[in-house]
Chains A and B, each alone.
Chain A
Amino acid sequence: MLDKNGIAKRIAQEVKNGYYVNLGIGIPTLVANFVRDDIEVEFQSENGILGMGPFPTETQVDADLINAGKQTITALPGASFFDSALSFGMIRGQHVDLTILGAMEVAQDGNIANWKIPGKMVKGMGGAMDLVGSAKNIIVAMMHTNKAGQSKLLKSCSLPLTGVKCVTKIVTNLAVLDIVDGQFKLIERAPGVSVEEIKKATEGDLIVEGDVPEMKF
């Protein structure tokens, strides 16, 4: 079973040379730490930077330079700043190659919910609806089950939706899954995790074909 860094590390393998990548808050933010350093990649943060760098040193901290999670960051050589409308033009116009975001629930039809629990928690969708509404290539990073142990991979979402039929790949602490023809297809198992364990933790329909390989790191 993977921890959050493990999930980020596995997702980093999906980041290819020449990609512009938008990272959501939480586990997705960690992906930047694990991308191979022999490829050229630029990270976009929707508050208005392309070419986002690592966290600053104490002396580099600048209140005017933050990421979408409101953390202080740095800008790498080749970076650019822009306004919010242009930032979402980049996203909506499909100029960003890969979007990685977290979720509360994902359904087997590719629907995703991650912004609201009615009556309990309403943080807002931020840029998530724009991202999932337009991105070609969306990977969800999340734990396979919630804190109560219930599956987050469902037949259909119970929470208010963020987007419909948009998720193509999910990486959890237990598995890598693709969404194929309205079902979850098991692609890889996390180290030491059995197909049975994954089946048990997946409420939605799960396709298992042949021997499912373990993730390689």
Chain B
Amino acid sequence: MITKTVNSVSEALEDVQDGMTFMLGGFGLSGIPENAIAELVNRNIKDITCISNNAGVDDFGLGLLLKKKQIKKMISSYVGENAEFERQMLSGELEVDLIPQGTLAERCRAAQNGVPAFFTPAGYGTEVAEGKEVREFDGKPHILEHAFKADFAFIKAWKGDTAGNLIFKGTARNFNPNMCGAAKITVVEVEELVEAGELDPNFIHIPGVFVQRIFKGESFEKRIEKRTVKD
């Protein structure tokens, strides 16, 4: 067994530097690496490029980094819930690369799986396709998309063990499994950290080989963006 545990978020992020590219799991505020984001704020890491489906809200998630102007560039599919984001983007302070959500997921998975590039129909004939190679397969045009390159992937899982094996919960899974092993170093925060052997190998979503560092998050607020209940 190879142990992947580190003692704290501070130890997990001790070698992050200004100007790096980070992948961050999560959809909306669900399944975001809250502890890693808080640590990036603490360390005041600057000029960050973020690969993340969304940009948080004004006072939570990646919104915390945006507010302190720590983010140089965002690569996302949907950023509609964050007024500060929209302001920084429209004023040109923030570089933004908006890409289709499936393409975002697949570019992560491609990086994880050692596939340098792939063709997808998503975005053909739109701004997204500008400057990209187009090729027809079965009479249908597709565009060439490349695997991401990133320094760190920050992941939130539900349960993990000391060998780095992971289990996700509900729709908090989203991009998290696709980003594991897609960056040079994958850092995972979990709600529950157990000894290797305690998780049933049949129910592991991501094997520890894709993970370099794992720790139990100090706290998870798990904020709900749109609490909607039955009448």
Number of interface residues of A (CB under 8 A): 54
The listed residue (B76, B127, B222, B230) touching A63 by CB distance below 8 A is B222
B81 within 8 A of A: yes
B42 within 8 A of A: no
Cα distance, A48 to B172, chains bound together (Å): 8
Q: Is the CB of A133 within 8 A of B123?
A: yes
How far is the CB of B76 from the nearest CB of chain A, in Å?
Answer: 6
B178 within 8 A of A: yes
Chain A residues close to B by CB (< 8 Å): 45-49, 54-58, 61-73, 75, 81-85, 87-88, 91-92, 111, 115-116, 119, 121-130, 133-134, 160-164
* 8 Å CB interface, B126-181 against A: 126-128, 158, 168-178
B80 within 8 A of A: yes
Cα distance, A45 to B30, chains bound together (Å): 14
Q: Is the CB of A64 within 8 A of B222?
A: yes
Task: Give the interface segment out of B2-10, B12-20, B100-108, B194-202.
Answer: B100-108
Closest to A121 in B: B86
Q: Provide the residues of chain A in CB contact with B226, threshold 8 Å.
A: 66, 69-72
Q: Provide the residues of chain A in CB contact with B86, threshold 8 Å.
A: 121-122
In the complex, 24 of the A-B residue pairs with CB atoms within 8 angstroms, ordered by the A residue number, are A46-B102, A47-B27, A62-B170, A70-B28, A70-B30, A72-B228, A72-B229, A83-B168, A83-B178, A84-B104, A85-B178, A115-B98, A122-B79, A122-B86, A123-B78, A125-B78, A125-B128, A126-B78, A126-B101, A129-B102, A133-B100, A133-B123, A163-B124, A163-B125
Cα distance, A121 to B98, chains bound together (Å): 13
Q: Provide the residues of chain A in CB contact with B127, threshold 8 Å.
A: 160-161
Q: Is the CB of A88 within 8 A of B101?
A: yes
Q: Is the CB of B120 within 8 A of A92?
A: yes
Cα distance, A204 to B52, chains bound together (Å): 38
Cα distance, A73 to B228, chains bound together (Å): 8
How far is the CB of A55 from the nearest CB of chain B, in Å?
Answer: 5
Q: Is the CB of B120 within 8 A of A133?
A: yes
The listed residue (A48, A56, A116, A160) touching B174 by CB distance below 8 A is A48
Closest to A129 in B: B100
The listed residue (A63, A133, A160, A163) touching B30 by CB distance below 8 A is A63
The listed residue (B77, B122, B205) touching A92 by CB distance below 8 A is B122
Q: Provide the residues of chain A in CB contact with B120, threshold 8 Å.
A: 92, 130, 133
B70 within 8 A of A: no
Cα distance, A149 to B81, chains bound together (Å): 26
Cα distance, A36 to B14, chains bound together (Å): 56
The listed residue (B28, B101, B168) touching A125 by CB distance below 8 A is B101
Q: Provide the residues of chain A in CB contact with B105, threshold 8 Å.
A: 83-85, 87-88
Cα distance, A122 to B168, chains bound together (Å): 31
How far is the CB of A68 from the nearest CB of chain B, in Å?
Answer: 8
Cα distance, A91 to B78, chains bound together (Å): 18
How far is the CB of B181 from the nearest CB of chain A, in Å?
Answer: 13
